[in-house]
Chain A
Amino acid sequence: MEALIQSLIQGVLLGGLYAAIGIGMSLIFGIVKLTNLAHGDFLILGSYISLVVTSTLGISPFLSLIIVVPVMFCIGFLVQNTMLNRVLAKGAEPTLMITFGLSIVIQNLLLYFFTADARNLKSSIALKSITLSDGIRIPVIYLIGCIVGIVIILVLGAYFKKTYQGKAIMAAADDLEVAQLMGVNTKNIYALAMGISISTAAIAGVLVGVIYNFYPTSGSSYLVIAFAVVVIGGMGSTYGTLAAGFIFGVAQVLGAHFFGAQAQLLTGYVVLLIMLIFRPQGLFSR
């Protein structure tokens, strides 16, 4: 019983992290209506940039975000502005293929510069945990991951609700042409949205890098998580993404609890496929 509770707690905590992994992808799907197949690779790129920053400056990975986030924002902005915006009008395939191409390029650049060795971001927090009872312990880093995920979602929610820029992004998602008619520079808005999306991916990347080992090819497994969260939550729904994170986290951990650690991945895939088949619009679609 305690083991089950431990699993459940872990699943919920994992859920916040998953939401952080998926929120950027959900945004881009909802706003720009494109599927970023390089989302996971951008996330891992964030982990590696943090690795470089922490090792050169000797600061904590969390502090490195001050540098990592702006850098990743610019990368996202530029990718959208110089590449994706050019082919948006030509249908879904070109953007799919460009992001695919980016995924290959990022993975192999990382492989070239950092080799295939396992890396991680070192933080003293990684080993600490809070003991609730004999069998139930909460690893502090998971708690942080969960809280950061929730905070990202809340901040974004407020940004979209309260600021002109955020409203313009939502308006562009609702009706692009009318947003343009109201004086919104939509090409810029898309680039901005991609910048934000990639920034959240980078934050998730740093969290993931502290919790797990990462490799240049780790991106694809995070892409799967992002997909799952996006599909379960309903594309483009901010709070749906958070709920979906929890559902997916708990489902995975329960899968592992009942069918063994091997099943964790498979449970995830199966849940995702079932969702895709039976309710592709998501559980919480607007």
Chain B
Amino acid sequence: MKTLVGDKSNIIKFIILVIIIAALFLLPSWGNQYTVMFFMLVFMYIGLGQMWNLLAGYAGLVSLGQQIFIGIGGYSLAVLSNYYGVPLFLGLIIGGLIAMVISIGLSYLLLRMKGMYFAVATWITAEALIVIFAGWKFVGSGNGMFIYAVRGMPTSTIYYYSLIVAIITVIIVVFLLRSKLGLGLIAIRDNDSAAETSGVNIFKTKLYCMMISSFLTSIIGGLFYMSQVWVQPYAAFAINWTIAGMFIVVIGGIGTVAGPILGAIIYVFLNQYLAQFGGISMIILGIIAILVILFASKGILGTVQDKFGFEILSARRHSDRTFTGKPIEELDSSNL
């Protein structure tokens, strides 16, 4: 397995990376409250984006149901800490595990679906969860739940948790793609049936992606509702979560590791900045996403990478998933 540190330019990259991460760890001690909040959100959305990218950009599973796991994470934390006195940190982990178990069940039902069927099924599952949670007294029905244990917790704690989760998601994606699993993913992405015959267990590979994605997305959901204090079904299971993840990945560059980082910064910035214009913020977000897909289908980073031929945070063995559709070999040159 290759390491991040290779030749000279890689050493420089590595040093810059260390400095940035160190600065981010020290941020709460010198940054103001707003900056800390801003980056805390950026970290959560980086994680959200990375995990959606793992499914859609690498495993070929365009999920519209990441909110399932956000909601499960938020509610698990609320129920565990309110009813059973479980410490918050443990609550996050258990929430992640619950989400993972659910994702295994869902995988057995949904993974054999292709393309849009999978997309729709994940989304409908989330919609069904809204109805179920909104009618379930145990979790406060439509009013949702307060997470009492969070009161008095400093923002910096959630900030650190979020930073660590963001770093973990990035590391996981980078190393996953360099591992055997990553090789299998690329084989699947390029050609399902060929991958199958060459011994890649497609189901297992996709299942692992679902499990990892659900675990970390659930923790992000828990963290988000720690910062919000109140979890409510219509927001927790809302499609907006997937929209955000999709926007981040598409803007940044689908199938790139650094793309979602850039995308998350842009998303949180636009959201905060456009908030002053009220309703039109979402309109502008939507229009930007459409324009990027139409005119820079590889996202900002993908387009820049193509132009200048460099890659930040390389997950070599190809991470240039693009929208160019079928590989050339499939275009049968002998048919009219």
Contacts and interface: CB of A to CB of B under 8 A. Distances in A.
Interface stretch (A16-24, A55-63, A154-162, A271-279): A271-279
Contacts of B132: 266
B334 to A, nearest CB: 14
A122 B170 CA distance: 54
Contacts of A270: 128
Contacts, number: 109
Contacts of A151: none
A84 B62 CA distance: 18
In this complex, the member of A83, A93, A96, A269 whose beta carbon has the largest number of chain B beta carbons within 10 angstroms is: A93
A269 B286 CA distance: 27
Contacts of A272: 124
B127 A224 contact: yes
A232 B129 CA distance: 21
From B113, B117, B125, B280, name the one whose CB has the most chain A CB atoms within 10 angstroms: B117
Contact of A276 (B113, B127, B131): B113
A190 interface: no
Interface residues of B, number: 40
A231 B121 CA distance: 11
B110 interface: yes
A97 interface: yes
A35 B131 contact: no
B325 A97 contact: no
For chain A, give the interface size range: 35 or more
Contact of B110 (A86, A269, A277): A277
Given A83-B294, A90-B297, A91-B323, A97 B109 contact: no
B128 A101 contact: no
A105 B286 CA distance: 5
Interface in A195-247: 220, 224, 227, 231
B128 A104 contact: no
A70 interface: no
B294 A86 contact: yes
Given A98-B294, A104-B243, A273 B128 contact: yes
Nearest to B117: A280
B247 to A, nearest CB: 9
Interface string A10-38: 00000000000000000000000001000
Contacts of B113: 276-277, 280
A265 interface: yes
Nearest to A115: B279
Contacts of A35: 116, 119-120
B285 interface: yes
Nearest to B118: A276
B286 A101 contact: yes
B328 interface: no
Top 4 nearest A-B pairs (CB, nearest first) are: A104-B286, A105-B286, A90-B323, A269-B128
